[in-house]
């Protein structure tokens, strides 16, 4: 499906996404996968069983690492925690630091960094072949408790719940964050992997998150509802989350909160090259704008007021529109990270 907040018509509005003010609400801690992406762009129709001339490009990736990079690019004070092969630690730390991210990377001495081969079709859609590698060996000790000190938000992706050994790590992090009064936000990450869980399992683990960011396919798995009614799916998920931001690809997004009607926001046009990481850019942009938006009431603690009730309708609309605009820029270049700073 097309990326979050992106239409395939017309031309993007410049190469660089707009920037919100630097966050004043505190640090964002992101935990999840860091990956070596191998992007394959066939130059002709794929010839099954033989050769197809292609352009093959290596890029840093991983949904959580991409989101951290976009958050840093957009002005957030952000820390990323994850695990990769020992020989790649320096590379991935440097790539995240390009965007102002403090990277806390555990070095696995025995298993290589996760890898994904991404086949990019002419319309920018991608098919992914995933080997999560060292990500599957993440341990709670890889995310020092001190990283949460003074932080405002813990953001996790669904990939922390898609392998049995990682679930206790994710649940421990979430419990630790909540005990400190932090907000927790979650991006489900993969419809295919969600479908492999027992019904209701993911929602049970993540219920109470301030924001959940599913795409259309993920919401269909989580709710069991007809994907032709995204507003109904978003509304159903508000039973478990403080807000639901349902990414609709070329149709934009739906924002839903308990006790209010879902609102759909239309997409921005874009000249699509590669949809890899568009949802990550959307998620990061929404969080960055939300955290920096003025609230209608002062937060009760040092944690950010991540509730729809604390934001005016104007601020909510601006938050969704900003996320859509950033996603529209993300698809105009190759790879899941922001354009490399010049």
What pLDDT score was predicted for residue 79? 97
The 10s digit of each residue's pLDDT in 132-146 is 999 999 999 999 989
What pLDDT score was predicted for residue 296? 52
What is the gyration radius of the CA atoms in the chain, in angstroms?
19
What pLDDT score was predicted for residue 3? 35
Three-class DSSP category at 74 = coil
Say which residue, 251 or 149, is predicted with more confidence.
149
Residue of 228, 229, 259, 223 lying closest to 243 (CA atoms): 259
Q: Percent of the chain having pLDDT more than 90?
A: 68
Say which residue, 150 or 276, is predicted with more confidence.
150
In three state form, how does the secondary structure of 163-202 look? CHHHHHHHHHHHHHHHHCCCEEEEECCCHHHHCCCCCCHH
What pLDDT score was predicted for residue 273? 83
Residues 143, 254: Cα–Cα separation, whole Å = 33
Residue of 7, 69, 74 lying closest to 328 (CA atoms): 7
Residues 256, 244: Cα–Cα separation, whole Å = 5
What pLDDT score was predicted for residue 5? 36
- Looking at the predicted structure, is the pLDDT value of residue 20 above 50? no
User: Which range among 16-25, 118-127, 301-310 has the greatest average pLDDT?
Assistant: 118-127
Structural domain boundaries of the chain? 6-330
CATH code for residues 6-330: 3.40.1190.20
What pLDDT score was predicted for residue 100? 96
Query: The tokens of 207 are what?
Result: 């219920």
Please spell the DSSP secondary structure of 288-313, one letter per residue.
HHHHHS-BSS--SSSS---SGGGB-H
What pLDDT score was predicted for residue 124? 72
The chain-wide mean pLDDT, for the chain, equals 86
| pLDDT grade for 8, boundaries at 50, 70 and 90 | very low
The 10s digit of each residue's pLDDT in 274-327 is 777 789 999 999 999 988 876 555 444 444 445 655 677 788 888 999 999 999
CB 335 within 8 A of CB 11: no
Least confident of 59-68, 175-184, 291-300: 291-300
Residues 74, 241: Cα–Cα separation, whole Å = 25
What pLDDT score was predicted for residue 249? 84
Average pLDDT over residues 248-276: 87
Average pLDDT over residues 52-77: 95
The 10s digit of each residue's pLDDT in 80-119 is 999 999 999 999 999 999 999 999 999 999 999 999 998 9
Say which residue, 12 or 229, is predicted with more confidence.
229
What pLDDT score was predicted for residue 300? 42
| pLDDT grade for 17, boundaries at 50, 70 and 90 | very low
| pLDDT grade for 182, boundaries at 50, 70 and 90 | very high
Average pLDDT over residues 207-221: 96
| Residue environment code for 229-239, b if the CB has 16+ CB neighbours within 10 A, otherwise e | ebebbbbbbbe
| pLDDT grade for 36, boundaries at 50, 70 and 90 | very high
- Looking at the predicted structure, is the pLDDT value of residue 224 above 70? yes
């Amino acid at each position: 499906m097309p990326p979050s907040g992106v239409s395939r018509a017309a031309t993007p509005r410049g190469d660089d996404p707009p920037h919100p003010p630097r966050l004043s609400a505190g640090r964002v801690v992101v935990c999840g996968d860091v990956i070596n992406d191998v992007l394959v762009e066939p130059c002709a129709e794929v010839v099954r069983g033989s050769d197809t001339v292609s352009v093959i490009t290596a890029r840093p990736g991983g949904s959580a690492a991409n989101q951290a990079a976009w958050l840093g690019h957009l002005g957030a004070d952000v820390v990323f925690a994850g695990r990769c092969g020992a020989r790649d630690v320096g590379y991935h730390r440097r790539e995240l630091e390009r965007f102002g991210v403090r990277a806390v990377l555990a070095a696995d001495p025995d298993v290589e960094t996760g890898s994904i081969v991404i086949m990019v079709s002419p319309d920018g859609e991608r098919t992914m072949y995933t080997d999560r590698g060292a990500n599957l060996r993440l341990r709670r000790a890889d995310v020092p408790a001190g990283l949460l000190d003074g932080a405002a938000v813990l953001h996790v992706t669904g990939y922390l719940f898609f392998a049995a050994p990682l679930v206790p790590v994710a649940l421990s992090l979430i419990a630790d964050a909540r005990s400190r009064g932090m907000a927790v936000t979650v991006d489900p990450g993969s419809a295919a992997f969600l479908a492999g869980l027992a019904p209701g399992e993911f929602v049970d683990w993540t219920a109470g998150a301030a924001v959940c960011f599913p795409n259309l396919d993920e919401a269909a798995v989580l709710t069991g509802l007809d994907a032709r009614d995204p507003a109904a799916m978003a509304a159903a998920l508000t039973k478990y989350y403080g807000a639901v931001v349902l990414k609709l690809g070329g149709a934009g997004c739906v924002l839903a909160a308990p006790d209010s009607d879902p609102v759909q926001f239309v997409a921005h046009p874009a000249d699509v090259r590669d949809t890899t990481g568009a949802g990550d850019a959307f998620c990061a942009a929404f969080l960055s704008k939300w955290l920096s938006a003025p609230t209608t009431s002062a937060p009760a603690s040092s944690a950010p007021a991540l509730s729809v009730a604390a934001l005016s309708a104007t601020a909510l609309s601006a938050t969704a529109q900003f996320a859509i605009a950033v996603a529209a820029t993300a698809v105009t270049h190759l790879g899941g990270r922001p354009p490399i700073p010049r």
